[in-house]
């Protein structure tokens, strides 16, 4: 492979910094190298960690994954309650490596929220404001563009979500997106969750398909996955009454896929749902992906309680967060990427998740409000080099990607930053 050049450093301070300024070298990575269609063959040829082979549940799951690629509901529940977390994370790490070897992906992006004014009041939400709240805002086109401008030369994606504005229709968003595209044509616009699409459709008297088509013509490239919460309506009624139903969430993503608009999908866990609800959520996404094939990435994240109204929430522990990421990797055989969402779970847990099934750590992000309003302390405006160092420190190879996971660039850090990875104990299974 040819070296493509030296990327200048943007030097900042966080726990992944070192004292000297390293030279960062990037080189292209062929998309074929990260294609994962033969992951089951690769899995069958891998050494089996002792943690997996000595545990009946994970050994049974490994055999199923090799033979059919698809775990059952019962296997998913068993993984969720298996006393050996290490066996679950080790199996997830095997599957991640069978799919993507040691590569871990991120992109260079910026979050810009269009408005925090919302007609709903989901109980887990710390972001929304009523229209007369002193901190309520709604960006006009100039303000939206000016949020992006300072970052425009070092990002290739803008991620925009917001509240359900009482007045805006699809036209306001078409104006935001077409102006952003005109000014910065290289930027991929990933915007509007399913409930926003539903709200805009209703406000504009358009079908989901017509709404998405209009937005796509204006510059929308993909949808984020937010708003899935738990795709079990009895849970939704308790935490986000009035939001789109589980069926509507899946329908809107299916319509987007049919129009050639890729999407992500998410899960908000640690509120009032059961283990079975979480597995059912994963199965509903898996079924939708069988039908429409447009989910690129799954992003599981735990509920953060600051400024929210869910005192009965069963907050997820660090171990539970890691287990959820691992089980997602194992259950979602048809969704290629599993993200450790730094903005929610923090950099340290995200770097651990890289060895427990996650292959993506989101991006540089630049600015984030929704998780930080709810209590996230994750540092913002992280540089690519800092992210690469985080990935390398976890024993993986950092790869910068584009928004559609079709272009990749390995980031090589200097030798002195190489990680020290403990060996994995493996054993032959007769």
Query: Which residues of this protein are in contact with ligand SF4, per CB under 6 A?
Result: 118, 120-122, 125, 127-128, 163-164, 195, 240, 243
CA proximity to 29, closest of 403, 411, 408, 412 = 408
Nearer to ligand SF4, 196 or 359 (CB): 196
Nearer to ligand SF4, 173 or 352 (CB): 173
Nearer to ligand SF4, 240 or 313 (CB): 240
Taking the complex as a whole, the smallest distance from the CB of residue 242 to ligand SF4 amounts, in Å, to 8
Taking the complex as a whole, the smallest distance from the CB of residue 116 to ligand SF4 amounts, in Å, to 7
User: Who contacts 269 (Cβ-Cβ below 8 Å, separation ≥6)?
Assistant: 230, 278, 300, 301, 302, 303, 316, 320, 324
Taking the complex as a whole, the smallest distance from the CB of residue 366 to ligand SF4 amounts, in Å, to 20
Contact 319, 85 (CB under 8 A): yes
289's tokens: 């992906």
CA-to-CA distance for 207 and 258, rounded, in angstroms? 14
How far CA 238 is from CA of 229, 244, 327, 416, in Å, comes to 11, 13, 25, 51
Contact 395, 362 (CB under 8 A): no
Nearer to ligand SF4, 158 or 195 (CB): 195
Contact 330, 312 (CB under 8 A): no
Taking the complex as a whole, the smallest distance from the CB of residue 251 to ligand SF4 amounts, in Å, to 17
Taking the complex as a whole, the smallest distance from the CB of residue 418 to ligand SF4 amounts, in Å, to 42
CA proximity to 322, closest of 304, 302, 303 = 302
Nearer to ligand SF4, 48 or 195 (CB): 195
Nearer to ligand SF4, 243 or 401 (CB): 243
Taking the complex as a whole, the smallest distance from the CB of residue 140 to ligand SF4 amounts, in Å, to 19
């Amino acid at each position: 492979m040819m070296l493509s050049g030296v990327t200048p450093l943007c030097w900042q301070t966080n726990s992944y910094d070192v004292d000297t300024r390293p030279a960062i070298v990037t080189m292209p990575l062929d998309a074929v190298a990260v294609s994962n269609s033969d992951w089951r063959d690769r899995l069958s040829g891998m050494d089996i960690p002792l943690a997996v082979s000595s545990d009946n549940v994970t050994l049974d799951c490994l055999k199923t994954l090799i033979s059919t690629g698809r775990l059952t509901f019962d296997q998913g529940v068993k993984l969720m309650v298996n006393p050996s977390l290490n066996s679950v994370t080790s199996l997830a790490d095997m599957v991640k490596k069978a799919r993507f070897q040691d590569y871990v992906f991120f992109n260079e992006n910026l979050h810009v929220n269009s408005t925090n004014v919302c007609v709903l009041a989901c109980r887990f939400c710390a972001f929304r404001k009523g229209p007369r709240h002193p901190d309520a805002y709604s960006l006009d086109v100039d303000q939206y563009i000016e949020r992006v401008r300072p970052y425009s030369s070092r990002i290739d994606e803008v991620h925009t979500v917001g509240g359900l504005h009482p007045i805006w229709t699809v036209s306001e968003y078409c104006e935001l997106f077409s102006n952003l595209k005109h000014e910065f044509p290289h930027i991929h616009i990933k915007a509007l969750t399913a409930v926003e699409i539903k709200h805009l459709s209703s406000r504009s008297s358009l079908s989901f398909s017509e709404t998405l088509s209009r937005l796509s013509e204006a510059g929308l490239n993909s949808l984020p996955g937010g708003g899935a919460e738990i795709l079990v309506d009895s849970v939704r009624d308790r935490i986000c009454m009035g939001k789109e139903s589980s069926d509507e969430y899946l329908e809107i993503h299916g319509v987007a896929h049919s129009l050639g608009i890729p999407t992500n999908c998410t899960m908000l866990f640690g509120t009032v749902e059961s283990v079975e609800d979480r597995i059912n959520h994963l199965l509903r996404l898996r079924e939708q992906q069988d039908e429409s094939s447009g989910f690129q990435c799954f992003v599981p994240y735990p509920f953060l309680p600051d400024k929210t109204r869910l005192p009965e929430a069963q907050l997820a522990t660090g171990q539970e967060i890691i287990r959820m990421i691992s089980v997602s990797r194992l259950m979602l055989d048809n969704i290629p990427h599993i993200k450790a969402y730094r903005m929610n779970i923090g950099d340290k847990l995200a770097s651990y998740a890289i060895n427990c099934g996650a292959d993506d750590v989101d991006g540089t992000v630049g600015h984030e409000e929704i998780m930080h309003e709810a209590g996230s302390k994750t540092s913002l405006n992280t540089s690519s080099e800092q992210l690469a160092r985080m990935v390398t420190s976890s024993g993986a190879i950092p790869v910068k990607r584009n928004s559609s996971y079709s272009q990749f660039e390995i980031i090589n850090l200097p030798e002195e930053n190489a990680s020290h990875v403990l060996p994995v104990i493996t054993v032959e299974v007769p």
